[in-house]
Amino acid sequence: MEGTEPPSGMQASIDRTVEWVDTDASGHQHNSAIMRWVEAAEAELFRNLVLPEYFPSAPRVQQVVNYTAKLWFGQRVTATVRIQKVGRTSMTLAFEVYGHAHPHSPGGLAAHGTLTTAHVPAGSASAQPWPERIRQAAAVTVPKIAGSEQ
C-alpha cells in the first residue's frame, strides 16, 4: 500500500494528551495506551461511517504494534485509523500514532501497525460474513491499488 493514501475523509483521527495513568514506571507511555487511543480512533471512524452495529460484533483476532518512539506524560498525541482490507468475515485496520513536539521529544511517529477484527454476531460462536451494509460502507474507504481486485 506504499504511496497510496485513502480518499479524504476516509480515515479518522483523535487527539489526546498522555495522562499519568497512561505511563509506566519509566515515565513514558505504557504499551496498552497505544491500543486505547487506536480504539478511540476506530470508534470515531465507525461513527463517521454511521455503522453503530459494528461495535458489538467485531472482536479483535490479531493486533500488531510496532513501537518506534516514546511518548511522555503531558505530550499531545494523534492516533489515526483507516480500513486497510475488508474480507468475507474479517476486517483489517491500519493505524499510526504520532507524538507532538514535547520537552522530552521532537515528536513524530511513535507507533504503527494493524488490528484485525472478525464479524461474530450476537449469539454466534464463530465468525460470519459481514452484513452487506457494513461491507459496502467499509469497502469505499479502502484505497484502490493499481492491478488489485477487491
pLDDT digits (tens, 9 = 90+) for 14-43: 999 999 999 998 889 999 999 999 999 999
Which pLDDT score is estimated for 142? 64
Q: How many CB atoms lie within 10 A of CB 93?
A: 26
Residues 6+ apart with CB under 8 A from 89: 118, 119, 127, 128, 129, 130
Which pLDDT score is estimated for 10? 78
Whole-angstrom Cα distance, residue 144 to residue 110? 27
Q: For the chain, list the domains and their CATH numbers.
A: 11-139 (3.10.129.10)
Reply yes or no on whether the pLDDT at 90 is more than 90.
yes
pTM as predicted: 0.85
